[in-house]
Structure 1
Amino acid sequence: MNQRLMRLVAVSVSFQDCPSRQEIQGSLKQVQKLLTAHEASYIQTKKKKKSLILINSNVKTVNFFYFSKSLPFSTDTCIKLDAPINGRKLGKSHSVSHEVHFLCDPGYELVGSESRVCQESLAWSGQHPTCRDINECASSPCLNGGTCVDEVNQFSCVCAKGWTGATCQSSLPTSATTGPFVRPSRCTIVQGTTHCTCEPGYTISGRDSNICTDIDECELFHNGQAGKLCLHACVNTPGGYRCSCPVGYNVTRDGRSCKDIDECATRQNNCTKDQMCINTYGGFQCVRVDCPKIPNATYVKTSPMRCERNPCPVDNKACSQAPNSFSYHYLAVVSNLSAPRVMFRVSALRPMGDTLRFSLLGGRQARRHFTVQRSDRLTGQLMLVSPVQGAITLEAEVEMSELERRVHLGRYITKITMFVSQYEF
């Protein structure tokens, strides 16, 4: 259009060098008509193209509908490919002529097609790949009779006796191969770097990474934040430890503490038939209760632990002043008990008088550790006033006197024997 317009103007100018105003206006009107006609033609052409595009779109829609009714899936792309196990897939498009690539993780090798292309037949080229573990033991890296163990991206050697190292290349000293507290380390090679480890309970021996020495847990955790490993004694063993107890004790279920063995209940004692077995901490005692022999008075055993005085003649004043009864009691305790502490109580069941008095009998040792106090009107109690150290046997006698208007009506002796053990758990 622009060329035609230029030719028209040129012709107009060529006829007359100095056109008049009317001629110029006429030329401009002709140019305006041409521009209007060209614009109308351009709009009409654009409408036709839009109609053709709409028709083509409808045809494609109809075709897609027709084919979707006859085919079970879309025919525009190939089926989706998954990444192989222990590998990766590069590329997400499954359209025709597009390509995907496959890689394996370290320690694995690719078997199959490294890349596949979606073909016009909507089938992938090549074979689906897999990632196979690389056998690091194929080159027999273990020396001196060592056994190779293939692992993911690495290998380790189980060395024969007398050899150690990542590839069993180093010999062990004779003492190291026989001692239970020394073990060869187990080394693996990962990407060219050697890593050596020890069995549980062992650690690398100094700078020599080929030898592992036993960890002495008893020494290392003797006074840890959680307390001692064992409440009594710790015994170090190859690769571990165990707790031990003194004679007469067993290790408890937690493996740390000790529990007394009841030799009397389990019949682990040598007491005779006329003796009574008293279990103590860490042992037992065989005791025999015999009634006391006191001048002018006789006693008879009324129970295994009690003797009572026979009736006295009316004119026998010495007999009437002797104790009415003797009771025997045995206690098993541990040493270092805190004091003061109530150890035993004595009380009257049916008092006959108006007053009860309690007093401590015995020698200096008894008075060093014990005293007697009244807890209420009818009860007195034996008190421990100083801790007892070590294994020892202590005896104390508590006398309960019954009075009526300050006249003695009767005396009752309770003998208490304590077997003190030196161990406490």
Structure 2
Amino acid sequence: EFDYEKQSCKDIDECKTLQEACKGGMKCVNHFGGYLCLPHNARIIISNGEDEPTTPPTKLESSNTMSFCEFHSHSCFPDINECEFSNYICQFQCVNQPGGYQCVCPDGYQLQGTRMCQGTLQFLSKCEHRKQRIRVRCYINECETAHNCREDEMCWNYYGGFRCYPRNPCRECQSPSVCRGLPPVIVYKYMSIFSERSVPADIFQIQATSVYPNMVNTFTIKSGNEGGEFYLRRSSNVSAMLVMTKPLTGPREHVVDLEMVTQSNVLSYRSSSLLRLTIIVGPYPF
């Protein structure tokens, strides 16, 4: 699941989140992307690359190829492809390897840490460098350096530029007839994404701020999805996740209206609210 504080994906410990994940006296062992149910006397051993013993093992073993051996039959499952578990593992490209994965950067970039790529040449307009082919430090936050937004506008920085948006986008109704049928509440949100981001990708979660008993919430994409770039996946009765289904090329702006309808048949109650999400796609894949 996505960790919004660290801006990366973290593994879900099913042994803690699932009630009675393992039954029959088996113990639960969490691993990346899943979990195993093992006997309590089983052990997991990571080999150092030496030849495997010719005699059947007497305990659970997993080699450096991450092949998990079944305790009773000693048969092994294939290597786990970590790149298939999430689109957020690597910033650019994920390459599966025996027992793990490796993040690969395109030409002109070098790996910074284990997942992120940093430019080695001057690709952006604002890059500090000393020598050619030496790591540079690039930054694109024009809202902190220089912009031409008016006082009644806010500056929104995105990957590769900035845009000016009204500080107060709300407008008053001129007459009841003009606003008839419109949602009484519109919430404005803005977000930025890279160009050509891998898909499918969870990009935004919409959630009810208040929870009432006997209320049912439904979520729909009201407008802004004419090209079928998104769909809403219901997470619970009070939340849904906006999923991007097609890679978007920037610079580009998408305005997507997400509607939440709350109703109760018991109380004969129905209300709706609208979240207007502006998605700014940067011109670069980083």
2:223·2:256 contact (CA, 8 Å) conserved in 1? yes
Q: CA deviation at 1:382?
A: 1.2
Residue 399 (structure 1) aligns with: 259
After superposition, where does 1:274-353 map in structure 2 within 5 Å? 274-288=152-166, 289-292=168-171, 294=173, 296-297=175-176, 322-352=182-212
1:260·1:281 contact (CA, 8 Å) conserved in 2? no
Residue 322 of structure 1 aligns to a residue in which SS? Answer: coil
Residue 247 (structure 2) aligns with: 387
Residue 127 (structure 2) aligns with: 250
Whether 2:269 is the aligned partner of 1:269: answer no
- Structure 2's unaligned 5+ residue stretches are 1-103, 111-119
Query: Which has the larger share of helix?
Result: 1
Aligned residue type for 1:277: C
Find the aligned partners of 2:201 and 2:270 in 1 and give their Cα distance: 31
What's the Cα RMSD here?
3.0
Find the aligned partners of 2:188 and 2:164 in 1 and give their Cα distance: 14
Whether 2:239 is the aligned partner of 1:360: answer no
1:401·1:408 contact (CA, 8 Å) conserved in 2? no
Find the aligned partners of 2:148 and 2:160 in 1 and give their Cα distance: 15
Residue 376 of structure 1 aligns to a residue in which SS? Answer: coil
Find the aligned partners of 2:278 and 2:250 in 1 and give their Cα distance: 16
The 3 A distance-change label for structure 1 pair 331 and 255 is: farther
Aligned residue type for 1:327: V
After superposition, where does 1:69-84 map in structure 2 within 5 Å? none
Q: CA deviation at 1:294?
A: 5.0
Which of residues 236, 258, 267 in structure 2 aligns to 1:376?
236
Higher gyration radius (CA): 1
Aligned residue type for 1:384: M
Residue 138 (structure 2) aligns with: 259
The 3 A distance-change label for structure 1 pair 271 and 351 is: same
Find the aligned partners of 2:182 and 2:245 in 1 and give their Cα distance: 30
Find the aligned partners of 2:106 and 2:199 in 1 and give their Cα distance: 26
Residue 368 of structure 1 aligns to a residue in which SS? Answer: coil
Aligned residue type for 1:262: N
1:324·1:412 contact (CA, 8 Å) conserved in 2? yes
- Structure 1's unaligned 5+ residue stretches are 1-225, 233-241, 298-315
After superposition, where does 1:26-425 map in structure 2 within 5 Å? 230-231=108-109, 243-247=121-125, 249-251=126-128, 255-256=134-135, 259-266=138-145, 268-288=146-166, 289-292=168-171, 294=173, 296-297=175-176, 322-352=182-212, 354-365=215-226, 367-405=227-265, 407-425=268-286
Aligned positions, number: 168
**Highest relative contact order (Cα 8 Å, sep 6+), 1 or 2?**
2
1:345·1:382 contact (CA, 8 Å) conserved in 2? yes
How high is the sequence identity, in percent, across the aligned residues? 24
Find the aligned partners of 1:227 and 1:395 in 2 and give their Cα distance: 31
Residue 264 of structure 1 aligns to a residue in which SS? Answer: helix
Q: CA deviation at 1:349?
A: 2.2
Q: CA deviation at 1:259?
A: 2.6
2:224·2:255 contact (CA, 8 Å) conserved in 1? no
2:128·2:137 contact (CA, 8 Å) conserved in 1? yes
Find the aligned partners of 1:252 and 1:380 in 2 and give their Cα distance: 44
Find the aligned partners of 2:124 and 2:263 in 1 and give their Cα distance: 50
